[in-house]
């Protein structure tokens, strides 16, 4: 039932207009909604005019509006209970979490809503690298057939029993670890937030550095976010510690990798790599790694699919409605998120 006295404002743009439809339907089962398009030159005035009656403010996925919700704006929004969106944990240019907490306004960031999709994609690419599936498909499409058994693909073995190293144990690699359990892979981890006891409780072998992790595994999966402390953290020493012919999967951000060292390992140590994120996007058409037989490149699609964006916004709406109902939130942002992710953008570039 719609509560006519409850109002939700949705900020969107033309690009994201379809992404918010499913979530808006969820909202409209409980509250009245209005949508303000930030493509409209008067959107800021429209927002200011409607904030006094707003209980919820929702932002379309990955949209950071070109404004700051300052104390003056909050003063004209006495009913506001929650602000929700998908900000990749980088919301400080839009709102102050401390100001919101002072006013008991909840901040919801559903960036981790796409974790399951990213983790599944990472596992898919792990299997593709092991079995060289894309090369086999390309061969068939070109009219060919398998080469002699000793020279064509399928020579890297099964995933079952392989030694896996998780670089970082955030939401992506936690889910990857869950998916991996059925394969019986001995799994090690390096994450500065984990100690030996915590790793053991999770069924993981603790390592004290990325170099130690690389030396302990055959498959190296990077789930490290781009923070000031993590830029180019996966460096030449880490690649040198990986076994010759090892497997490398990157689905977080290229900013955490020493990119020249990565391509050197591909060329000199027979590293097989699956890369979904790049320092320059779109990737130049003539980029050398597009054509390297040891590299599987994909155009940033691990979580960049329409259904993922729709889910991100739907989850933002579900949590926003939970605020109204006094329920538990799954994606509430915390001050630690603001401090951890400050200073760099989603690609690892310095922010002013």
Over the stretch 274-321, which tens digit does the pLDDT of each residue have? 999 999 999 999 999 999 999 999 999 999 889 999 999 999 999 999
Look at residue 152 in the predicted model and tell me its pLDDT.
Answer: 42
Query: pLDDT at residue 36 above 90?
Result: yes
Tokens representing 290 are 């597009």
Backbone angles phi, psi at 257, to 5 degrees: -115, 140
**pLDDT tens across 224-251, in order?**
998 888 899 999 999 999 999 999 999 9
| Tokens 């809503």 -> residue | 113
Neighbours of 325 (CB within 10 A): 9
pLDDT value at residue 337: 74
pLDDT score of 154: 43
Structural domains of the chain sorted by starting position, each given as residue range(s) with its CATH number in brackets: 3-110+306-340 (3.40.50.720), 114-297 (3.40.50.720)
Residue 333 CB neighbours (<10 A): 24
d(C-alpha 170, C-alpha 193), whole Å: 10
Q: What is the mean pLDDT of residues 13-24?
A: 97
**Mean pLDDT across 144-165:** 74
Nearest of 7, 19, 11, 10 to residue 67 by alpha carbon: 11
pLDDT at 179: 98
Q: Give 134: exposed, middle or buried? Use CB within 10 Å, 0-12, 13-18, 19+.
A: middle
Edge-to-edge, what's the strand order for the sheet holding 164-167? 205-206, 187-190, 164-167, 219-222, 247-250, 272-275, 295-297
Looking at residue 336, its pLDDT comes to 79
Question: Using CA atoms, how far apart are residues 115 and 330, in angstroms rounded to an integer?
Answer: 13
Tokens representing residue 164 in the block: 């896996």
Nearest in space to 185 (alpha carbons), one of 218, 156, 211, 154: 218
| Cα-Cα end-to-end distance for the chain | 45
**pLDDT, tens only, 109-140:** 999 999 999 999 999 999 999 988 898 899 89
Residue 343 binned pLDDT confidence (cut-offs 50, 70, 90): low
**Residues in a beta bridge with 165:** 188, 220
**3-state DSSP assignment of residue 172:** helix
Res 155: pLDDT? 53
User: Which tokens hold the place of 137?
Assistant: 């498909």
Percent of the chain scoring above 90 in pLDDT: 82
Tell whether the model's pLDDT for residue 89 goes beyond 80: no
Q: Helix or strand or coil: residue 130? A: helix
Task: Name the DSSP class of 243.
Answer: P
The C-alpha R_g of the chain, in whole angstroms, comes to 23
Q: How confident is the model at residue 101 (pLDDT cuts 50, 70, 90)?
A: very high
Grade residue 91 by pLDDT with cuts at 50, 70 and 90. Answer: confident
Could you tell me the two tokens for 96?
């102050």
Q: How much is the pLDDT for 10?
A: 99
pLDDT of residue 153: 42
Res. 147 pLDDT band, cuts 50 70 90: low
Say which residues have a Cβ less than 8 Å from residue 283's Cβ, sequence separation at least 6: 290, 297, 299
Per-residue pLDDT, averaged over 57-84, amounts to 95
CB 322 within 8 A of CB 329: yes
For position 149, what pLDDT does the model report?
A: 58
User: Averaged over 319-329, what is the pLDDT?
Assistant: 97
Average pLDDT over residues 132-150: 83
More confident residue, 348 or 107: 107
Query: Which pLDDT does position 346 carry in this prediction?
Result: 57
157: left (phi over 0), alpha (psi -120 to 50) or beta: left
Which of 303-311's residues contact partners 24+ apart within 8 Å by CB, and which partners?
303/114, 303/115, 303/117, 303/118, 303/121, 305/117, 306/18, 306/19, 307/117, 308/113, 308/114, 308/117, 309/16, 309/19, 309/61, 309/62, 309/86, 310/19, 310/21, 310/22, 310/23, 311/113, 311/114
Instruction: Report how far residue 309's alpha carbon sits from residue 13's, in angstroms, rounded to the nearest whole number.
Output: 14
Indicate if the pLDDT at residue 19 is higher than 90.
yes
Residue 92: what pLDDT? 84
Residues of the chain with pLDDT > 70, as a percent, come to 92
Q: What is the pLDDT of residue 132?
A: 87
């Amino acid at each position: 039932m719609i509560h006519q006295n409850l109002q939700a404002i949705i900020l969107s743009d033309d690009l994201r207009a379809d992404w918010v439809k499913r979530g808006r339907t969820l909202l409209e089962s409980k509250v009245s909604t209005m949508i303000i398009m930030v493509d409209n030159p008067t959107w800021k005035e429209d927002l200011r005019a409607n904030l006094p009656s707003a209980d919820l403010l929702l932002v379309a996925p990955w949209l950071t509006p070109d404004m700051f919700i300052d104390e003056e704006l909050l003063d004209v929004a006495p009913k506001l209970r929650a602000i929700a969106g998908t900000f990749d944990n980088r919301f400080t240019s839009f709102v102050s979490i401390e100001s919101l907490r002072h006013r008991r306004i909840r901040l919801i960031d559903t960036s981790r809503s796409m974790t399951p999709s990213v983790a599944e994609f990472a596992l898919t690419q792990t299997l593709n690298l092991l079995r060289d599936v894309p090369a086999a498909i390309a061969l068939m499409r070109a009219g060919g057939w398998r080469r002699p058994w000793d020279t064509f693909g399928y020579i890297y073995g099964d995933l079952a029993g392989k030694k896996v190293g998780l670089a970082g144990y955030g939401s992506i690699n936690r889910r990857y670890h869950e998916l991996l359990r059925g394969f019986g892979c001995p799994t090690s981890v390096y994450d500065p937030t984990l100690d030996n006891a915590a790793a053991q409780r999770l069924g993981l072998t603790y390592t004290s550095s990325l170099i130690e992790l690389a030396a302990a595994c055959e498959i190296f999966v990077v789930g490290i976010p781009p923070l000031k402390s993590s830029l180019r953290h996966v460096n030449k020493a880490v690649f040198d510690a990986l076994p010759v012919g090892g497997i490398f999967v990157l689905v977080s951000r290229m900013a955490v990798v020493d990119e020249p060292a990565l391509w050197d390992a591909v060329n000199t140590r027979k590293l097989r790599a699956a890369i979904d994120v790049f320092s320059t996007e779109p990737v130049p058409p003539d980029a050398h790694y597009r054509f390297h037989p040891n590299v599987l490149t994909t155009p940033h699609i691990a979580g960049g699919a329409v259904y993922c964006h729709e889910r991100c916004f739907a989850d933002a709406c579900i949590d926003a409605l939970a605020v109204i109902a006094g329920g538990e939130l799954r994606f509430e942002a915390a001050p630690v998120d603001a401090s951890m992710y400050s200073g760099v953008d989603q690609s690892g570039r310095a922010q002013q």
